[in-house]
Amino acid sequence: MRKRRAADARPGVFINCPFDDEYGPLLRAAAFAIAACGYQPVCALDENDAGRIRFEKLHALIAQTDLAVHDLSRVEL
């Protein structure tokens, strides 16, 4: 079930992308662009609870956002 956000809170955008050093500048640029457009950028790096199962953490983050951006450009078979 989706959590309700406060009326004054900015809509969230979940960012799904690689988190390595090489991709870092692109992630920062995406977060900046999202914030500049009035949205709250959210990604898996925002939550650092190592005790939570990764799937549960991702599910909770995605459920609390309104939109999502997925960069699958580095997916390999």
Domain annotation covers residue 1: no
For residue 72, CA distances in Å to 17, 18, 19 come to 7, 9, 12
Domain annotation covers residue 6: no
Q: How many domains does one find in the chain? A: 1
Each residue of 27-44: pLDDT tens digit?
A: 999 999 999 999 999 998
Domain annotation covers residue 52: yes
SS (H, E, C) 33-77: HHHHCCCEEECHHHCCCCCCCHHHHHHHHHHCCCEEEECCCCCCC
Each residue of 6-33: pLDDT tens digit?
A: 656 899 999 999 989 999 999 999 999 9
Task: Give CA–CA dist 66/2, Å, rounded.
Answer: 10
Domain annotation covers residue 31: yes
Domain annotation covers residue 77: no
Whole-prediction pTM: 0.78
Pick the more confident residue, 48 or 69: 69
Range of 37's domain? 12-70
